[in-house]
Structures are given as structure tokens and as C-alpha cells.
Amino acid sequence: MLIPRKYRSIAVAAVLLIISLTVLSFSAIRLSETGFLRKMVLEAAAPVEDTINISLQNLHDVWKRYLFLVGLDDENRRLRKRNAGLTEQLNRYREGSLEAMRLRKLLELRESFPQRAVAARVIDRNRSSLFKTLLINKGTADGLRVGLAVLSDQGVVGRIIETSWHASRVLLLIDGNSNIDGLIQRSRAQGILQGAGSAGCSLKYISRAEEVLAGDVVISSGLSGVLPKGLLLGVVTGASRKEGGLFQKIDVAPAVDFEKLEEVLALTTDMKPKP
């Protein structure tokens, strides 16, 4: 049976390796000068054994590298999991720090009023085009009632229009049904600040004779008794006399960013007890 050409070299090497091992085994107990035949066997067997040893060493190295990579992958998974936990913990600390800063501002605001003020958290928002309201987590059990003013550290938020024992709905300053007595801080001109939805607010009933400039600050006048005097309502963004009539058209941007409100202060009518 003929051996295929591509396997002949392998067959010859195997035969030589067998012959060399046989000769070595017979002559291992005899210490004499190496004969010519044994030299030939050693010369032929050495490259084969070297190739086999290199292959085995390479296989061993590959196996060690595989085990190292498996261990490295496990370590990476463990580190990623730990990193995710630390990131989550850091985020909780960051949120706690930001909340503490907001509550500190509300506390400072609360201390500036002689009336008792109740801090509340925003728990829902009505983003419909018809009504601009939000829901807070305090109600009649905390001393709140319809008509009370609601503030933030930025300025006036609105007033309470509905209450239950532990929740209240607040009509925002920008709602079309909101009307608050206001005045321009610089000129002391008084008018009514009315909500205009997504457009912000309009300051109505300001005489055409009054000078109104973009950037003028609008504050509460305190005339209605709902809001104390001097609370920030917004800033004039534009004034026009082109429409005719007795009054100007004045656009006002609210001081409060309603989309970012998280905590508010409801101002009651109860006076704080004297120390």
C-alpha cells in the first residue's frame, strides 16, 4: 500500500523516531563511544523531538493564556459591577446634596416671612394646553386651604385652588385663569399680571403714558391680600403702544422655571408664634 506523498515525510520521521528510541533503549545500559549508526539515529531523531517539544510547549502556552483571559474576563465583570454600584451610590449622594441645597433656600425663604409657611414636594404636573397646574403633597392636614400663595426661592409659583387632606392643586402663574396684582418695581406703575400659557404672562391695565422698558422687574403689589408685597413675579420682555386704546401691551417672563420645580413653599395666613 503506497503512502500518499503529503504524508511521506511524517511517516519517515515517525519511523526514524521509533528506530532511535529502540536503539537508545538497548544501548542505555552500555556506556561506550557513540557509534556511527547511533549518531545517525540521534541526528534524525533530534529535530523530530524538538518539533514535538515546541508544539507541546506552544499548546501549554496557549492553554495558560486561555486561563489568564478567562480570569481577566471574570475580573473585568467584577470590576464593572463594582463600578456600577459606586456610580449609583455617587448619584444618590449628588441628588441628596442638590436636594439639601434646594431645601436650604426654602428654609431661608420661610424664615423671611412672619407667617407660617409649609414646605411641600411637587408630585405631579398638568401639562395640557388648557390648564397649567401642579400637585403638591401637603393639604388641609398641614394647614393648607384654597387661596393660599405658593412660592419658590425664584419667586411666585401661583395659588392653591383645590385641597384634600394630604394633597393640594396649585394654579400656576402662567395659567389663563391666574390674575395677580403686580407693579413695575422701577416706575411703581400698578396693573394685573395675567397668565398667558406658554407665552408666559401679560401685565394689563398699565397706562400708555407710563414708561415701561424691557428688563423692568415686576413684583407683587400686596393689594389683594393673597401675596405679601414685594415678591418677584417676573421680568418685562417687551412693551407696545401700537394697538391703540388706553393701555399698553406688556409681555412678562415669569421668574420661576415651572418645568424644574421640585419643592415649593405654601404661605399660610397664620402668624408664627413669638419666641
User: What are the pLDDT digits (tens) for 26-65?
Assistant: 554 444 455 556 566 556 555 666 666 666 667 677 777 7
Which pLDDT value is given to residue 181?
94
Cα gap 37→272, rounded to integer Å: 117
Better-scored residue on pLDDT, 141 or 37 = 141
What nine digits make up the cell of 145?
Answer: 386651604
Which pLDDT value is given to residue 243?
65
Query: Which of these ranges, 68-72, 206-210, 249-253, has the smallest mean pLDDT?
Result: 68-72
Nearest to 157 by CA among 269, 3, 260, 250: 260
Q: Which CATH class is domain 115-271?
A: mainly beta
Residue 234 has pLDDT above 90, yes or no: yes
Which pLDDT value is given to residue 56?
64
Which pLDDT value is given to residue 49?
61
Across 27-36, 73-82, 134-143, 242-251, the highest mean pLDDT is recorded for 134-143
Query: Which of these ranges, 43-57, 76-90, 144-158, 159-173, has the smallest mean pLDDT?
Result: 43-57
Residue 82 — pLDDT band, cuts 50, 70, 90? confident
- Name the amino acid, one letter, at 92: R
Q: How do 115-126 and 201-204 pair as beta strands?
A: unpaired
Cα gap 89→76, rounded to integer Å: 20
pTM, two decimal places = 0.66
Which pLDDT tens digit goes with each residue over 94-131? Answer: 767 766 677 677 778 788 888 899 999 999 987 666 78
User: Which of 185-212 are b and which e, b meaning 16 or more Cβ less than 10 Å from the residue's Cβ?
Assistant: eeeebbbbbbbbeeebbbbeebeeebeb
Nearest to 237 by CA among 201, 187, 189: 201
Which pLDDT value is given to residue 35?
59
Return the domain boundaries, the chain: 1-27+34-112, 115-271
Residue 266 has pLDDT above 60, yes or no: yes
Cβ atoms of 157 and 170 within 8 Å: the answer is: yes
